[in-house]
Amino acid sequence: METEDEYVASATLMILGEDLDPSKVTAWLELEPSKSWRRGEEKELAPGNFYEWGGWKCFSEQSDDTLEEKIESWLVLLQGRNKEFSKMNSLGWRCSIDCFLAFDSVSSLSVSPDLTRRISELGLTLDICLNN
C-alpha cells in the first residue's frame, strides 16, 4: 500500500465477549491490555452507563507505518498463539484486529492474500472502520 500522508491508520488487537474475563485473555496471550473491562462495569467516560459485554484491547505503538505494516506487526507478535485464539473463539468471544482508517481524499486499501491467510490461520477477524 502506498501512503505519503494519504491517511492515518491504527490497528488494535481486540477481544470481546459477553462473559469475557480480561485476566484470562492477559494470561493466555501473555500480553498486557491497554484497556479492559467486564460486563456490568461502569463506563469511565459515560457515568451511569454500563458495559453489556466484556472487552480486552491492546493498542499498537504509534508509527507512520502503513495499515498493512501495522497488521503485519500484530501477526508477528501473535505468531504461535493459534490455540489461545481457538480457545477464545470456542467460548464465543470475538477476536479481531480492529483497524481505523481516516483519510482526506480518495484512498485505497489492499490486504495481500498472504496477510489474509495468516489472519485467518490465527482465528482472527479483520475489522476496518473508515472515516472520511
Q: What DSSP designation does 11 have?
A: E
Q: In this structure, are residues 68 and 112 in contact, taking their beta carbons and an 8 Å threshold? A: yes
Give Cα separations from 100 to 27, 29, 46, 74, 96 (angstroms): 27, 23, 22, 15, 13
In this prediction the pTM is 0.88
Q: What are the tens digits of pLDDT across the range 76-91? A: 999 999 999 999 999 9
Q: Would you give per-residue pLDDT tens digits along the chain (132 residues)?
A: 444 557 788 999 999 999 999 999 999 999 999 999 999 999 988 999 999 999 999 999 888 888 899 999 999 999 999 999 999 999 999 999 999 988 877 767 788 899 999 999 999 999 998 887
Return the C-alpha cell found at 26.
492477559
CATH topology of domain 7-131: Alpha-Beta Plaits (3.30.70)
Q: How many other CB atoms are found less than 10 A from the CB of residue 19? A: 11
Q: What is the largest CA-CA distance in the chain?
A: 45
**Domain ranges, ordered by start, for the chain:** 7-131
